[in-house]
Amino acid sequence: MAAVHGDAHSHGHDDHHPSGIMRWITTTNHKDIGTMYLWFSFAMFLVGGTLAMGIRAELFQPGIQILEPELFNQFTTLHGLIMVFGAIMPAFVGFANWQVPLMIGAPDMAFARMNNWSFWLLPVAATLLVSSFFVPGGAAAGGWTFYPPLSTQGGLGVDLMIFAVHILGASSIMGSINIITTILNMRAPGMTLMKMPMFVWTWLITAYLLVLVMPVLAGTVTMLLTDRHFGTSFFNAAGGGDPVMFQHIFWFFGHPEVYIMILPSFGIVSEVIPTFSRKPLFGYSSMVYATASIAILSCVVWAHHMFTAGMPTVGQLFFMYATMLIAVPTGVKVFNWTATMWRGSMTFETPMLFAIGFIFLFVIGGFSGVICAIVPIDIQVQDTYYVIAHFHYVLVSGSLFALFAGAYYWIPKWTGRMYNETLGKWHFWLSMFFFNLTFFVQHFLGLAGMPRRIPDYNLQFADFNMVSSIGAFGFGLTQLLFLYVMINCIRSGEKAPQKPWDGATTLEWTHLPTPAPYHSFEKPPVVN
């Protein structure tokens, strides 16, 4: 690399590396890459959030006011794609980059150069996705699940989306290979698998799920692409294909995908709850087995997304029972978190608040999931706001709240500075209030029959929609407070001690100074 070599500004370490923008472009340091992942995902979170604000603004009143139906469909489609592939998933990879080497005592990720590559693919994919709004015909508008025939008929925007998904998939696969290799091969001496922190365990299992299903998604979008441009008929009924088959293949990826987005958050919560309860995690090994069971079960339940697509009763029964079975290992986890808190010396700093909020709201989302799994009910609520409410309870108050918990928990280790506790608590309580205001009422809308992905609605739905929109605007604004708290912390937060949390027991708190040095664990720690 023809770049300026280490000067006084470059983190005062004896190693030399480029400064300025080239430092970030060429970096192979897991901390730099983790930071970039987190900023990237937050930027995408704001983009996807802006789309959500557009959707809720249109739904504020019945009738078409702001977004024409075609543009509304593009908003819902891109909101889903950007939040899933651009915000939640990269954020968890960011946490893995920062935390996995620190928590297992490794000097860096196994393949540092590949790590850099897997990050820098993301802005390319994001550019393709966002720019698709400005091509003729606009962005993909057939829903984030891009079912044919809409996705085989759409314009250039769909092609851009397909390429973006290809690139995001490649990035995820490389990231997963890196994480698996790091965890399996680079643990500090004495760190057996069953001594690994729960966050590392959940990421190991998640990474395996990713290499299992991401290539299938890549195959699916490839088939879509060849159907669109090269005359194949995988999903085109007129050519002997089957559009329902797309749904089967897509959800073979799509259902494990939702666990890919929740398992690492289980990991974060399993770190935060013991720390602030000042007790070790209750039932560690059952947590490991529960995580593995959830991952395995997640691969055999995909068709519960398709109960109305036409399926023999035997199939419906199988997928219904298999889906309900997932509630068992999930229940084990919730039990263990609760038992960890039982008689602990609990304190309620912001990470703990978000973790408890996670448990509380994720359980609501889990229960509405069990309700949706029941075939006769699902036939009623399919494609209604009930489903929207369900998956926002598990994705926003599940994955996103856990990400917030993790960010507040580890930011002192990353920056060496404390965030403002008062503002952090405000962020939590406002998020909690506005989140429920937005999504709880959507259960009622769905049960009353309001369909999703439609820009207009019957007058009977008006009041709840207005409440939901007000909640959404409040939730959106609250996240700017999070941005402020984080920037304030990085720039002028109080200096953090090595171990700001009494109850923390993992390596990054016990063996490393705060902030974590640019190169850590060059000599592996010994774990006993």
Give the residues lining the site for another protein (CB under 8 A): 107-108, 110-111, 173, 176-177, 180-181, 184-186, 211-220, 223, 234, 242, 245, 248-249, 252, 311-312, 315, 522
Listing DSSP states for 132-192 in one string gives GGGSTT-B--STTTT-TTHHHH--HHHHHHHHHHHHHHHHHHHHHHHHHHHHHH-PPTT--
CB of 400 to another protein, least distance (A): 28
Least distance from another protein to the Cβ atom of residue 177, Å: 4
Closest to another protein by CB, 43 or 173: 173
Catalytic option among 333, 392, 413, 427:
333
Residues 290 and 310: their CA atoms lie apart, in Å, by 32
Residue closer to another protein by CB (options 217, 373) is 217
> CB within 8 A of 130, min separation 6: which ones?
47, 78, 82
CA 48/CA 77 separation, integer angstroms: 10
CA-angle at 472, arms to 471 and 477, nearest 5°? 100
Q: Which of 140, 218 has the CB closer to another protein?
A: 218
Nearer to another protein, 28 or 380 (CB): 28
Active site residue 279: no
Q: Of 17, 23, 30, 79, which residue is the catalytic one?
A: 79
Q: Which is nearer to another protein, 253 or 475 (CB)?
A: 253
Asked if 452 is an active-site residue, the reply is: yes
- Dihedral (Cα; 224, 123, 206, 99), 10-degree rounding: 180
User: What is the residue whose two structure tokens read 């009041």?
Assistant: 463
Active-site pick, 118, 152, 172, 182: 172
**Smallest separation, CB 409 to another protein (Å):** 28
- Say whether 522 is catalytic: no
CB of 216: closest distance to another protein in angstroms? 4
* CB nearer another protein, residue 248 or residue 511: 248
31, 304, 390, 413: the active-site residue: 304
Q: Nearest approach, Cβ of 314 to another protein (angstroms)? A: 9
User: What's the min distance (Å) between Cβ of 405 and another protein?
Assistant: 30
User: From the CB of 251, what's the least distance to another protein, in Å?
Assistant: 11
Angle of helix 89-104 relative to helix 401-415, nearest 10 degrees? 50
171 catalytic residue (yes or no): yes
Cβ-in-10-Å burial (0-12, 13-18, 19+) of 487 comes to exposed
Least distance between another protein and beta carbon 73 (Å):
27
Residue 201 or 475: the one with the smaller Cβ distance to another protein is 201
Nearer to another protein by C-beta: 285 or 313? 313
The Cα 282–Cα 268 span in angstroms is: 15
State the Cα angle at 251 between 250 and 252, rounded to 5°. 90
Active site residue 32: no
Q: Is 427 a catalytic residue?
A: no
Nearer to another protein, 57 or 216 (CB): 216
Peptide bond into 149 cis (omega under 30): yes
Give the Cα separation of 413 and 476 in Å (integer): 27
- DSSP labels, 225-237: HHHHHS---SS-G
Q: Is 131 among the residues known to form the active site? A: no
Residue 468 and residue 466: Cα distance in Å, rounded?
Answer: 5
Task: Find where tokens 């979008």 sit.
Answer: 221
Closest by Cα among 37, 127, 24 to 90: 37
* 172 assigned to active site: yes
Torsion, Cα 84 401 403 372, to 10 degrees, reads -40
From the candidates 76, 171, 206, 438, give the one annotated as an active-site residue.
171
3-state secondary structure of 194: helix
330 in active site: yes
Nearest-approach distance from CB 523 to another protein, in angstroms: 10
Q: What is the rounded distance in angstroms from the CA atom of residue 376 to the CA atom of residue 372? A: 9
CA distance 146 to 90: 21
Catalytic hit among 187, 255, 392, 413: 255
506 is catalytic: no
Distances from the Cα of 257 to the Cαs of 164, 290, 329, 398, in angstroms?
Answer: 17, 17, 18, 14
Alpha helices in 278-326 (DSSP H): 284-298, 313-325
Q: Which is nearer to another protein, 305 or 392 (CB)?
A: 305
At closest approach, how far in Å is the CB of 252 from another protein? 7
Q: Is 270 known to be catalytic?
A: yes
Is residue 392 flagged as an active site residue? no
Residue 29 main-chain phi, psi, to 5 deg: -85, 130
Q: Which residues are catalytic?
A: 79, 108, 144, 171-172, 255, 257, 259, 270, 304-305, 330, 333, 452
